[in-house]
Structure 1
Amino acid sequence: MDLEWFDRVCGELQDSLDSICSKYDENGGMSVERGAKHPRMDFFIENGEEDRDYFCTIYFDPRNEEFYIESFDPDLGYESKVVLADIEDIVDAVHESFHIYLEEDVSVEEDMLDDDTEYYLTDNDEIERSNEDGDNSDIYLEEVDVEWETPEVTAYYQENEVEVTYQFGIVQETGDGVLRRVNRIWTEDDDLLKDETNFIFSKEEASTIIAMIASHMDSLSMME
Protein backbone atom coordinates (compact mmCIF):
# COMPACT_ATOMS: atom_id res chain seq x y z
CA MET A 1 0.00 0.00 0.00
CA ASP A 2 1.16 3.56 -0.74
CA LEU A 3 1.96 5.50 2.45
CA GLU A 4 3.53 8.55 0.82
CA TRP A 5 0.65 10.82 1.88
CA PHE A 6 0.62 9.32 5.39
CA ASP A 7 4.39 9.85 5.85
CA ARG A 8 4.25 13.41 4.56
CA VAL A 9 1.43 14.38 6.92
CA CYS A 10 3.23 12.73 9.86
CA GLY A 11 6.29 14.87 9.19
CA GLU A 12 4.34 18.11 8.88
CA LEU A 13 2.15 17.26 11.87
CA GLN A 14 5.12 16.94 14.20
CA ASP A 15 6.08 20.56 13.45
CA SER A 16 2.47 21.73 13.95
CA LEU A 17 2.17 19.99 17.32
CA ASP A 18 5.03 22.01 18.75
CA SER A 19 2.65 24.96 19.01
CA ILE A 20 -0.51 23.11 20.04
CA CYS A 21 -0.30 24.52 23.58
CA SER A 22 2.25 24.97 26.37
CA LYS A 23 1.03 22.02 28.46
CA TYR A 24 1.46 19.62 25.54
CA ASP A 25 4.92 20.98 24.75
CA GLU A 26 6.13 20.08 28.25
CA ASN A 27 5.74 16.28 27.98
CA GLY A 28 3.57 15.46 24.98
CA GLY A 29 4.61 13.04 22.26
CA MET A 30 3.51 11.16 19.16
CA SER A 31 4.23 7.61 17.98
CA VAL A 32 3.61 6.22 14.48
CA GLU A 33 2.52 2.67 13.60
CA ARG A 34 3.01 2.05 9.85
CA GLY A 35 2.63 -1.74 9.92
CA ALA A 36 -1.10 -1.87 10.73
CA LYS A 37 -3.79 -2.38 8.09
CA HIS A 38 -4.82 1.18 8.83
CA PRO A 39 -1.62 3.00 9.90
CA ARG A 40 -2.09 5.30 12.85
CA MET A 41 -0.61 8.09 14.93
CA ASP A 42 -0.93 7.76 18.71
CA PHE A 43 -0.64 10.86 20.89
CA PHE A 44 0.36 10.62 24.53
CA ILE A 45 1.62 12.37 27.64
CA GLU A 46 4.77 11.17 29.40
CA ASN A 47 4.07 10.62 33.11
CA GLY A 48 7.37 8.95 33.89
CA GLU A 49 10.27 7.10 32.32
CA GLU A 50 8.05 4.27 31.04
CA ASP A 51 4.57 5.58 31.80
CA ARG A 52 2.43 7.07 29.03
CA ASP A 53 -1.19 8.22 28.91
CA TYR A 54 -2.59 7.90 25.39
CA PHE A 55 -5.38 10.38 24.71
CA CYS A 56 -5.90 10.39 20.92
CA THR A 57 -5.41 8.12 17.89
CA ILE A 58 -5.57 9.29 14.26
CA TYR A 59 -6.02 6.53 11.65
CA PHE A 60 -5.18 6.54 7.93
CA ASP A 61 -7.26 4.67 5.34
CA PRO A 62 -4.79 3.80 2.53
CA ARG A 63 -7.47 2.82 0.04
CA ASN A 64 -9.37 6.12 0.30
CA GLU A 65 -6.27 8.12 1.28
CA GLU A 66 -8.04 9.81 4.17
CA PHE A 67 -7.36 10.38 7.85
CA TYR A 68 -10.05 9.75 10.42
CA ILE A 69 -10.71 9.50 14.14
CA GLU A 70 -13.01 6.94 15.76
CA SER A 71 -15.92 8.22 17.82
CA PHE A 72 -18.37 6.33 20.05
CA ASP A 73 -22.01 7.43 20.22
CA PRO A 74 -23.40 6.37 23.64
CA ASP A 75 -26.98 7.08 22.58
CA LEU A 76 -26.87 4.89 19.47
CA GLY A 77 -24.40 2.43 20.99
CA TYR A 78 -21.94 2.08 18.10
CA GLU A 79 -18.68 3.50 16.81
CA SER A 80 -18.42 5.86 13.87
CA LYS A 81 -15.51 7.55 12.14
CA VAL A 82 -15.01 11.25 11.59
CA VAL A 83 -13.00 12.05 8.46
CA LEU A 84 -10.33 14.75 8.87
CA ALA A 85 -10.01 16.58 5.56
CA ASP A 86 -6.68 18.35 6.11
CA ILE A 87 -3.85 18.83 8.58
CA GLU A 88 -5.66 21.71 10.29
CA ASP A 89 -8.55 19.37 11.11
CA ILE A 90 -6.06 16.81 12.48
CA VAL A 91 -4.37 19.38 14.72
CA ASP A 92 -7.77 20.58 15.97
CA ALA A 93 -8.83 16.99 16.75
CA VAL A 94 -5.63 16.31 18.72
CA HIS A 95 -5.92 19.64 20.55
CA GLU A 96 -9.53 18.99 21.54
CA SER A 97 -8.76 15.42 22.67
CA PHE A 98 -5.83 16.69 24.73
CA HIS A 99 -7.96 19.16 26.67
CA ILE A 100 -10.67 16.52 27.23
CA TYR A 101 -7.91 14.31 28.64
CA LEU A 102 -6.76 17.11 30.99
CA GLU A 103 -10.30 17.61 32.29
CA GLU A 104 -10.87 13.88 32.86
CA ASP A 105 -7.43 13.11 34.30
CA VAL A 106 -8.19 12.31 37.93
CA SER A 107 -5.68 10.31 39.93
CA VAL A 108 -6.55 7.26 42.03
CA GLU A 109 -5.89 9.21 45.22
CA GLU A 110 -8.17 12.10 44.28
CA ASP A 111 -10.88 9.76 43.07
CA MET A 112 -10.98 7.35 46.01
CA LEU A 113 -9.57 8.86 49.17
CA ASP A 114 -11.94 10.41 51.71
CA ASP A 115 -11.67 11.75 55.26
CA ASP A 116 -12.40 8.39 56.90
CA THR A 117 -10.25 6.14 54.75
CA GLU A 118 -6.55 5.40 54.48
CA TYR A 119 -4.87 3.55 51.62
CA TYR A 120 -1.48 1.89 51.72
CA LEU A 121 0.59 -0.47 49.58
CA THR A 122 0.77 -4.12 50.61
CA ASP A 123 3.73 -6.41 49.97
CA ASN A 124 2.14 -7.33 46.62
CA ASP A 125 2.06 -3.69 45.50
CA GLU A 126 -1.72 -3.64 45.80
CA ILE A 127 -3.75 -0.96 47.53
CA GLU A 128 -5.43 -2.03 50.75
CA ARG A 129 -8.09 0.02 52.48
CA SER A 130 -8.66 0.53 56.21
CA ASN A 131 -11.03 2.76 58.15
CA GLU A 132 -10.43 5.03 61.11
CA ASP A 133 -11.10 2.20 63.56
CA GLY A 134 -8.12 0.32 62.16
CA ASP A 135 -10.32 -2.47 60.79
CA ASN A 136 -8.69 -3.64 57.56
CA SER A 137 -11.12 -4.55 54.81
CA ASP A 138 -10.56 -7.26 52.24
CA ILE A 139 -10.84 -4.84 49.33
CA TYR A 140 -7.91 -4.72 46.95
CA LEU A 141 -7.64 -2.48 43.92
CA GLU A 142 -5.62 -3.63 40.95
CA GLU A 143 -4.00 -0.75 39.12
CA VAL A 144 -5.10 -0.95 35.48
CA ASP A 145 -4.94 2.21 33.40
CA VAL A 146 -8.33 2.33 31.66
CA GLU A 147 -9.56 5.36 29.76
CA TRP A 148 -13.35 5.28 29.86
CA GLU A 149 -14.74 6.35 26.49
CA THR A 150 -18.39 6.46 27.59
CA PRO A 151 -20.32 7.23 30.77
CA GLU A 152 -22.36 4.49 32.43
CA VAL A 153 -25.23 3.71 30.06
CA THR A 154 -28.37 2.16 31.56
CA ALA A 155 -29.31 -1.05 29.74
CA TYR A 156 -32.14 -2.11 32.06
CA TYR A 157 -33.96 -0.42 34.93
CA GLN A 158 -36.85 -1.40 37.17
CA GLU A 159 -37.59 1.19 39.83
CA ASN A 160 -36.57 0.22 43.38
CA GLU A 161 -35.59 -3.27 42.21
CA VAL A 162 -32.73 -3.54 39.74
CA GLU A 163 -30.52 -1.46 37.45
CA VAL A 164 -27.98 -2.75 34.92
CA THR A 165 -25.46 -0.35 33.36
CA TYR A 166 -22.60 -0.72 30.91
CA GLN A 167 -19.48 1.35 30.28
CA PHE A 168 -16.88 1.05 27.52
CA GLY A 169 -13.19 1.84 27.95
CA ILE A 170 -9.71 1.22 26.53
CA VAL A 171 -6.80 -0.40 28.39
CA GLN A 172 -4.03 2.10 27.74
CA GLU A 173 -1.14 -0.36 27.99
CA THR A 174 -2.52 -2.92 25.51
CA GLY A 175 -5.17 -1.07 23.50
CA ASP A 176 -7.75 -3.73 24.37
CA GLY A 177 -11.38 -2.86 24.95
CA VAL A 178 -13.09 -3.14 28.34
CA LEU A 179 -16.81 -3.63 28.85
CA ARG A 180 -17.78 -2.87 32.43
CA ARG A 181 -21.13 -4.21 33.70
CA VAL A 182 -22.58 -2.94 36.99
CA ASN A 183 -25.62 -4.69 38.45
CA ARG A 184 -27.41 -2.84 41.27
CA ILE A 185 -30.14 -4.60 43.24
CA TRP A 186 -32.37 -3.09 45.94
CA THR A 187 -33.45 -5.52 48.65
CA GLU A 188 -36.74 -5.50 50.55
CA ASP A 189 -34.94 -3.62 53.35
CA ASP A 190 -33.88 -0.92 50.87
CA ASP A 191 -30.28 -2.07 50.99
CA LEU A 192 -28.31 -1.64 47.79
CA LEU A 193 -26.28 -4.58 46.51
CA LYS A 194 -23.74 -3.88 43.78
CA ASP A 195 -22.02 -6.42 41.54
CA GLU A 196 -19.39 -5.37 39.00
CA THR A 197 -17.77 -7.40 36.22
CA ASN A 198 -15.28 -6.41 33.52
CA PHE A 199 -14.83 -8.11 30.16
CA ILE A 200 -11.61 -7.42 28.24
CA PHE A 201 -11.34 -8.08 24.50
CA SER A 202 -9.17 -7.17 21.52
CA LYS A 203 -10.20 -5.22 18.43
CA GLU A 204 -10.14 -8.44 16.38
CA GLU A 205 -12.53 -10.10 18.84
CA ALA A 206 -14.96 -7.16 18.90
CA SER A 207 -16.38 -7.69 15.39
CA THR A 208 -16.91 -11.40 16.08
CA ILE A 209 -18.68 -10.70 19.36
CA ILE A 210 -20.94 -8.08 17.76
CA ALA A 211 -21.80 -10.40 14.85
CA MET A 212 -22.61 -13.35 17.15
CA ILE A 213 -24.92 -11.24 19.31
CA ALA A 214 -26.64 -9.61 16.34
CA SER A 215 -27.35 -12.95 14.66
CA HIS A 216 -28.98 -14.37 17.78
CA MET A 217 -30.95 -11.37 19.05
CA ASP A 218 -34.29 -13.01 18.13
CA SER A 219 -33.44 -15.97 20.38
CA LEU A 220 -32.97 -13.83 23.49
CA SER A 221 -35.72 -13.27 26.06
CA MET A 222 -36.62 -9.97 27.65
CA MET A 223 -35.70 -9.41 31.31
CA GLU A 224 -38.61 -9.81 33.68
Structure 2
Amino acid sequence: MKLKVFMAMIFFLPFINAPFTAAAEKTSPESSFTDEVKTALLACRQQSSPLPRLQCYDQAWHPEINVYQADRPDRYWLQIMEQEKQRQSGDPVMILKTFNTEGSAGIVMLTVPGNGNYPARAIFAISCIENITRMQIAFTAPQGKGDQMLEMHADGKVLTSRWFWRGSGYRLEASRGLQGIAEIQQLFGAKELVISSDQPALKDLRFRIDGLKQALEPLRQACHW
Protein backbone atom coordinates (compact mmCIF):
# COMPACT_ATOMS: atom_id res chain seq x y z
CA MET A 1 0.00 0.00 0.00
CA LYS A 2 2.77 2.40 0.93
CA LEU A 3 4.53 1.60 -2.32
CA LYS A 4 1.41 2.51 -4.34
CA VAL A 5 1.08 5.87 -2.54
CA PHE A 6 4.75 6.63 -3.10
CA MET A 7 4.49 5.81 -6.81
CA ALA A 8 1.40 8.03 -7.12
CA MET A 9 3.26 10.98 -5.54
CA ILE A 10 6.12 10.57 -7.98
CA PHE A 11 3.68 10.51 -10.90
CA PHE A 12 1.79 13.68 -9.87
CA LEU A 13 4.79 15.68 -8.58
CA PRO A 14 5.74 17.24 -11.98
CA PHE A 15 2.15 18.41 -12.49
CA ILE A 16 1.97 19.93 -9.01
CA ASN A 17 5.30 21.73 -9.40
CA ALA A 18 4.70 22.99 -12.95
CA PRO A 19 2.24 25.81 -12.08
CA PHE A 20 4.55 27.14 -9.38
CA THR A 21 7.52 27.08 -11.75
CA ALA A 22 5.50 28.88 -14.42
CA ALA A 23 4.30 31.46 -11.91
CA ALA A 24 7.84 32.06 -10.71
CA GLU A 25 9.03 32.53 -14.29
CA LYS A 26 6.12 34.84 -15.01
CA THR A 27 6.73 37.06 -11.99
CA SER A 28 10.52 37.13 -12.24
CA PRO A 29 11.56 40.81 -12.09
CA GLU A 30 14.32 40.25 -14.63
CA SER A 31 11.75 39.49 -17.32
CA SER A 32 10.47 43.09 -17.09
CA PHE A 33 13.91 44.73 -17.38
CA THR A 34 14.71 46.77 -20.46
CA ASP A 35 17.96 46.09 -22.27
CA GLU A 36 19.35 49.39 -20.93
CA VAL A 37 18.60 48.42 -17.32
CA LYS A 38 20.12 44.95 -17.80
CA THR A 39 23.28 46.47 -19.24
CA ALA A 40 23.48 48.97 -16.38
CA LEU A 41 23.04 46.22 -13.76
CA LEU A 42 25.78 44.14 -15.35
CA ALA A 43 28.10 47.15 -15.31
CA CYS A 44 27.39 47.67 -11.59
CA ARG A 45 28.83 44.24 -10.83
CA GLN A 46 32.23 45.52 -11.94
CA GLN A 47 32.27 48.06 -9.07
CA SER A 48 34.63 46.73 -6.39
CA SER A 49 33.68 49.20 -3.62
CA PRO A 50 30.37 48.62 -1.78
CA LEU A 51 29.08 52.22 -1.70
CA PRO A 52 29.67 53.06 -5.39
CA ARG A 53 28.15 49.67 -6.26
CA LEU A 54 24.99 50.46 -4.26
CA GLN A 55 24.73 53.90 -5.90
CA CYS A 56 25.19 52.27 -9.30
CA TYR A 57 22.36 49.79 -8.66
CA ASP A 58 20.10 52.59 -7.42
CA GLN A 59 20.70 54.62 -10.59
CA ALA A 60 20.17 51.56 -12.77
CA TRP A 61 16.85 50.75 -11.10
CA HIS A 62 15.60 54.35 -11.27
CA PRO A 63 17.03 55.98 -14.44
CA GLU A 64 14.12 58.44 -14.54
CA ILE A 65 15.30 59.96 -11.24
CA ASN A 66 18.76 60.43 -12.71
CA VAL A 67 17.36 62.30 -15.72
CA TYR A 68 15.23 64.51 -13.47
CA GLN A 69 18.14 65.41 -11.21
CA ALA A 70 20.44 66.10 -14.17
CA ASP A 71 18.10 68.86 -15.35
CA ARG A 72 18.01 70.65 -12.01
CA PRO A 73 20.16 73.66 -11.03
CA ASP A 74 22.77 73.13 -8.33
CA ARG A 75 23.05 74.52 -4.79
CA TYR A 76 25.24 77.45 -5.87
CA TRP A 77 22.48 78.65 -8.20
CA LEU A 78 19.94 78.27 -5.40
CA GLN A 79 22.10 80.37 -3.06
CA ILE A 80 22.25 83.20 -5.60
CA MET A 81 18.52 83.12 -6.28
CA GLU A 82 17.65 82.95 -2.58
CA GLN A 83 19.70 86.07 -1.87
CA GLU A 84 18.04 88.02 -4.70
CA LYS A 85 14.63 86.75 -3.60
CA GLN A 86 15.13 88.59 -0.30
CA ARG A 87 15.95 91.91 -2.00
CA GLN A 88 13.99 94.87 -0.63
CA SER A 89 12.91 97.97 -2.55
CA GLY A 90 15.35 100.20 -0.66
CA ASP A 91 18.38 97.94 -1.08
CA PRO A 92 21.39 99.12 -3.12
CA VAL A 93 22.00 97.56 -6.51
CA MET A 94 24.89 95.51 -5.10
CA ILE A 95 23.85 93.37 -2.13
CA LEU A 96 26.46 91.65 0.02
CA LYS A 97 25.40 89.21 2.72
CA THR A 98 27.14 86.83 5.08
CA PHE A 99 25.42 83.72 6.38
CA ASN A 100 26.30 80.35 7.83
CA THR A 101 25.31 76.89 6.64
CA GLU A 102 25.56 73.49 8.28
CA GLY A 103 28.93 71.87 7.91
CA SER A 104 30.59 74.82 6.15
CA ALA A 105 32.77 77.78 7.06
CA GLY A 106 30.06 80.25 6.04
CA ILE A 107 29.19 82.08 2.85
CA VAL A 108 29.83 85.66 1.76
CA MET A 109 28.03 86.64 -1.42
CA LEU A 110 27.52 89.76 -3.53
CA THR A 111 24.73 89.82 -6.12
CA VAL A 112 23.76 92.35 -8.80
CA PRO A 113 20.64 92.07 -11.00
CA GLY A 114 21.23 92.35 -14.74
CA ASN A 115 20.43 95.69 -16.40
CA GLY A 116 19.49 97.11 -12.98
CA ASN A 117 16.09 95.42 -13.01
CA TYR A 118 14.43 93.02 -10.59
CA PRO A 119 13.39 90.36 -11.17
CA ALA A 120 16.23 90.13 -13.67
CA ARG A 121 16.82 87.65 -16.48
CA ALA A 122 20.37 87.23 -15.17
CA ILE A 123 22.19 87.86 -11.89
CA PHE A 124 25.89 88.61 -11.52
CA ALA A 125 27.38 87.11 -8.37
CA ILE A 126 30.73 86.96 -6.61
CA SER A 127 30.95 84.62 -3.65
CA CYS A 128 33.33 83.15 -1.11
CA ILE A 129 32.14 79.62 -0.34
CA GLU A 130 34.35 77.12 1.50
CA ASN A 131 37.26 79.51 1.03
CA ILE A 132 36.85 79.46 -2.76
CA THR A 133 36.10 82.64 -4.73
CA ARG A 134 33.56 82.28 -7.52
CA MET A 135 32.43 84.81 -10.14
CA GLN A 136 29.18 83.71 -11.77
CA ILE A 137 26.17 84.71 -13.83
CA ALA A 138 22.94 82.89 -12.93
CA PHE A 139 19.90 82.56 -15.19
CA THR A 140 16.27 81.67 -14.60
CA ALA A 141 16.42 78.90 -17.24
CA PRO A 142 19.21 76.66 -18.62
CA GLN A 143 21.18 78.43 -21.34
CA GLY A 144 24.14 76.31 -22.40
CA LYS A 145 26.68 73.59 -21.70
CA GLY A 146 30.42 73.09 -21.88
CA ASP A 147 32.65 76.15 -21.99
CA GLN A 148 31.85 79.67 -23.19
CA MET A 149 34.08 82.46 -24.48
CA LEU A 150 32.94 85.93 -23.54
CA GLU A 151 34.19 89.50 -23.30
CA MET A 152 33.81 91.67 -20.22
CA HIS A 153 33.81 95.38 -20.95
CA ALA A 154 34.49 97.53 -17.90
CA ASP A 155 34.64 101.25 -18.71
CA GLY A 156 37.02 100.87 -21.63
CA LYS A 157 38.88 97.79 -20.41
CA VAL A 158 38.15 94.59 -22.33
CA LEU A 159 38.84 91.22 -20.78
CA THR A 160 38.36 88.06 -22.86
CA SER A 161 38.13 84.82 -20.93
CA ARG A 162 36.73 81.31 -20.96
CA TRP A 163 33.82 80.60 -18.64
CA PHE A 164 32.05 77.32 -17.93
CA TRP A 165 28.38 76.31 -17.81
CA ARG A 166 27.53 74.69 -14.49
CA GLY A 167 24.41 73.46 -12.71
CA SER A 168 22.69 71.98 -15.78
CA GLY A 169 23.22 75.22 -17.71
CA TYR A 170 21.57 77.53 -15.18
CA ARG A 171 24.87 79.05 -14.12
CA LEU A 172 27.94 80.39 -15.95
CA GLU A 173 31.13 80.42 -13.90
CA ALA A 174 34.56 81.98 -14.44
CA SER A 175 37.82 80.24 -13.60
CA ARG A 176 38.48 79.81 -9.89
CA GLY A 177 41.63 80.44 -7.90
CA LEU A 178 44.18 83.11 -8.72
CA GLN A 179 43.02 83.51 -12.32
CA GLY A 180 39.43 84.16 -11.25
CA ILE A 181 40.53 86.64 -8.57
CA ALA A 182 42.69 88.48 -11.12
CA GLU A 183 39.66 88.80 -13.43
CA ILE A 184 37.56 90.25 -10.60
CA GLN A 185 40.28 92.77 -9.78
CA GLN A 186 40.21 93.96 -13.40
CA LEU A 187 36.67 95.18 -12.73
CA PHE A 188 37.63 97.42 -9.82
CA GLY A 189 37.06 101.11 -10.53
CA ALA A 190 34.52 100.53 -13.31
CA LYS A 191 30.94 101.76 -13.07
CA GLU A 192 29.36 99.22 -15.40
CA LEU A 193 30.13 95.70 -16.58
CA VAL A 194 28.91 94.81 -20.08
CA ILE A 195 29.00 91.23 -21.34
CA SER A 196 29.60 90.53 -25.03
CA SER A 197 29.16 87.05 -26.51
CA ASP A 198 27.64 85.14 -29.42
CA GLN A 199 25.38 83.40 -26.89
CA PRO A 200 21.94 85.13 -27.06
CA ALA A 201 21.38 84.90 -23.30
CA LEU A 202 24.63 86.82 -22.69
CA LYS A 203 24.40 89.45 -25.41
CA ASP A 204 24.53 93.01 -24.03
CA LEU A 205 24.01 91.98 -20.42
CA ARG A 206 24.76 94.96 -18.18
CA PHE A 207 25.54 95.10 -14.46
CA ARG A 208 26.15 98.19 -12.33
CA ILE A 209 29.36 97.62 -10.36
CA ASP A 210 30.24 101.13 -9.17
CA GLY A 211 32.06 100.72 -5.83
CA LEU A 212 32.72 96.99 -6.33
CA LYS A 213 36.12 97.03 -4.62
CA GLN A 214 34.74 98.53 -1.41
CA ALA A 215 31.63 96.35 -1.45
CA LEU A 216 33.76 93.20 -1.72
CA GLU A 217 35.97 93.99 1.28
CA PRO A 218 34.26 91.49 3.67
CA LEU A 219 34.37 88.82 0.96
CA ARG A 220 38.05 89.43 0.25
CA GLN A 221 38.84 89.07 3.94
CA ALA A 222 36.84 85.84 4.14
CA CYS A 223 38.68 84.33 1.15
CA HIS A 224 42.06 85.83 2.15
CA TRP A 225 42.94 87.96 -0.84
TM range, normalised to the smaller chain?
A: under 0.3
- Structure having the higher strand fraction is 1
TM-score (norm 1): 0.25
TM-score (norm 2): 0.25
